Amino acid sequence: MAYEKTARISDVFTVLGDPTRRQIFERLGDGPQSVGNLALNLPVSRPAVSQHLRALKDAGLVTDRAEGTKRIYQIDPHGLGALRGWLDRFWVDQLDAFKAEVEKPDQDSEA
């Protein structure tokens, strides 16, 4: 992949395959958050949320920064871009196939 920090795409899907990690990742879509805030209303402890965030970070999907004694996590746009790029190639292929089909001469009108 173009971005060195981003793990292999299979690792990204493996990490997002866990429902708790996916929920944490989706919550980060609302903006940067602390571990404590992310842990609210989750059925896991704050240390468990930290472990899930570490897996997301290792997969290149989130970054963190220190803010006083807290760590603030956010979606890594580079990792998300790599994931989107991988998915977009399927969309482009499908659009190209659709375009080719639509632009085919009508077989019935030629007969």
User: Using one digit for the tens of pLDDT, what is the confidence trace for 82-104?
Assistant: 888 888 888 888 888 888 888 88
CB 73, CB 28: distance < 8 Å: yes
Integer angstrom CA distances of residue 12 from 3, 63, 101, 103: 13, 14, 33, 37
**Residue 39: HSE in the Cβ half-sphere, 13 Å Cα cutoff:** 15
Straight-line distance from the first to the last Cα atom of the chain, in angstroms, rounded to the nearest whole number = 49
What span, in angstroms and rounded, lies between the C-alpha atoms of 5 and 21? 19
Spell out the domains of the chain, with CATH numbers in brackets.
9-100 (1.10.10.10)
Residues 10-53 pLDDT 10s: 889 999 999 999 999 999 999 999 999 999 999 999 999 999 99
